[in-house]
Amino acid sequence: MPAEPTTTTSTTTSTVPVDQTCTLIGPGVDLQGCDLSGQTISHVDLSNTDLANVDLSGARVFNVNLSGATLTDVNLSGAIVSDVDLTGASLKNADLSGARLTNSNLTNVNLVGADLSGADLGGSTVVLSDLHNANLSGANLRNSVLANLNLAGADLSTADLRDATLRISDLFTANLAGARLNRAVLVGINLTSSTLTDADLTDANLSDVDITAAVRTGAIWTGATCGFGSEPSVLCVDFVASAP
């Protein structure tokens, strides 16, 4: 009598719902928990899409509309993101370490607690966004336009801010130790209790910035100018020398 055929049953654990296909359809779709790592995503409208907990590590994302999208806890580490609209998106606690976000629009974005260490945001526009306690250590922000940001408690140590413009932003207790701020334009920023230890501010232009409120041991002020209100600008090195 022939032997009965054996049946093998495998059990797979997944965070993706059973009816979730992870296919990029269009605006408003639910892609939460999908694995899109290493994929190329371009010329797609994903506005207001739920991408929470999605794995996009190493992905290439070009010309995509992600305005209003939910990207909480998303993994974008090592991803290349170019010409992407992230206006109004939430990237709270997202992992963007080592990612490239060049020429992207980050207006009114929630980046609270996000990891942007070593990320490349060169030439990007970041305005009206919340980066409270974000990690931007070693990030490239060169030639970027940064305005009306909450950077309180953020880690910007060794970040590259050369030729960047940073206006009307809160850097209370922020860490800028070893940051490169050569030729940067800093206007109306709050540096209270922040750390500028060993930062390089050569030829930087500081206006309405109280640098005396910061820890500035070892900072380089060569050619940097400091101005307050209607008072004429003075060399920061002279101002620092006379400050308490």
pLDDT at position 22 is 83
Distance CA 137, CA 96 (A): 12
Per-residue pLDDT of the chain (244 residues; tens, 9 = 90+): 554 443 333 232 334 443 456 876 678 888 999 999 999 999 999 999 999 999 999 999 999 999 999 999 999 999 999 999 999 999 999 999 999 998 888 999 999 999 999 999 988 889 999 999 999 999 999 999 999 999 999 999 999 999 999 999 999 999 999 999 999 999 999 999 999 999 999 999 999 998 888 999 999 999 999 887 666 678 888 877 766 6
Angle at 104 between CA 98 and CA 55, to 5 degrees: 45
Tell me how many helices (H) and strands (E) the chain has. Answer: 1, 11
- What span, in angstroms and rounded, lies between the C-alpha atoms of 170 and 24? 37
Half-sphere exposure of 36 (CA within 13 A, CB side): 23
Q: What is the pLDDT of residues 10-65, one digit of tens each?
A: 232 334 443 456 876 678 888 999 999 999 999 999 999 999 999 999 999 999 99
The CA distance from 77 to 91, in Å, is 13
Q: Do 233 and 244 touch, CB atoms closer than 8 A?
A: no
| pLDDT value for 11 | 30
Give all strands (DSSP E) within the chain, no chain letters.
Answer: 40-42, 60-62, 80-82, 105-107, 125-127, 145-147, 165-167, 185-187, 205-207, 225-227, 234-235
pTM for this prediction: 0.87
The tokens describing 68, both together, are 């209003």
